[in-house]
Amino acid sequence: MKRFGLACEGVTDKATLKNILCGYFSIENPDDEIGELQPPFGESDGGGWRPFLTYLTLERFQDDVENNEFVIIQIDTDVSKDFDIPHEDNVGNSLPMEILIENVISKLKEKINEKELGIYEQYADKIIFAISVHSIECWLIAHYAEQAEIHDCFDKLKLIKFPKNTQLAKKQRNYDAISSPFLERKNIEAAAEKNLSFHVFIQSLESIRNTIELP
């Protein structure tokens, strides 16, 4: 049984989260500790919010939760309007970020329970949500830029001058390189101080530190 399983919207999200987990928990052998659940390992084009939400309803998801100590469930909020979670209230005001995150988590719990009521509650202590507002690129911006951002973060990452031989591209290996600063916990904590949705996720990791065997 691996310590963490990653169920994400896409392969770039998996790469970023893997480095965050390694940096936060001082994981030296990620292949032994972290499994790639969704999109399945080796699939470069199996991502997207639709197959991700479908995955949460499948028996495969339940098997994955049972066979990993914890499962990280990640999705960007930039697509939440497409599955009926708006960014604004009834009069057009932007929702507080905490409320948006809570609403997205409620939707994900609903999907988990879609085919059998109570599945989420059965596994709740093993599930950790990583809701990136409005994309995981905004967590990266929190490291690379002076100001935190939540809009158009991929486009803003294009303006960043990365270290030599590192390029921004929507590929797992590129995001592994771009997110490599998160292999150091001090960089995680500094970025989380600037980005609220990143902070919420890191607080979730902190809540389980005493329940897992750390190196």
Which segment of 9-23, 32-46, 52-66, 110-124 scores lowest on mean pLDDT? 32-46
- Order of strands, edge to edge, in the sheet holding 2-7? 34-38, 2-7, 68-76, 127-132
How does the average pLDDT of the chain come out, rounded? Answer: 93
Residue 209 has pLDDT above 90, yes or no: no
pTM: 0.95
* pLDDT value of position 210: 82
* pLDDT value of position 113: 98
* pLDDT value of position 129: 98
CB neighbours of 83 closer than 8 A, spacing ≥ 6?
Answer: 49, 53, 107
At which residue do the structure tokens 């989420």 appear?
A: 120
Identity at 173, one-letter amino acid code: R
* DSSP labels, 63-92: HHHHTEEEEEEEEEGGGGGGGT--SB-TTS
* pLDDT value of position 40: 82
Alpha-carbon gap, residue 88 to 120, rounded angstroms: 27
Alpha-carbon gap, residue 200 to 192, rounded angstroms: 8
CA angle 27, 175, 94 (to 5 degrees): 100
Give residue-wise pLDDT tens across range 147-195. 999 999 999 999 998 887 889 999 999 999 999 999 999 999 999 999 9
* pLDDT value of position 45: 54
Residue 46 has pLDDT above 80, yes or no: no
Alpha-carbon gap, residue 159 to 198, rounded angstroms: 21
Which segment of 15-19, 59-63, 210-214 scores lowest on mean pLDDT? 210-214
Give residue-wise pLDDT tens across range 112-148. 999 899 999 999 999 999 999 999 999 999 999 999 9
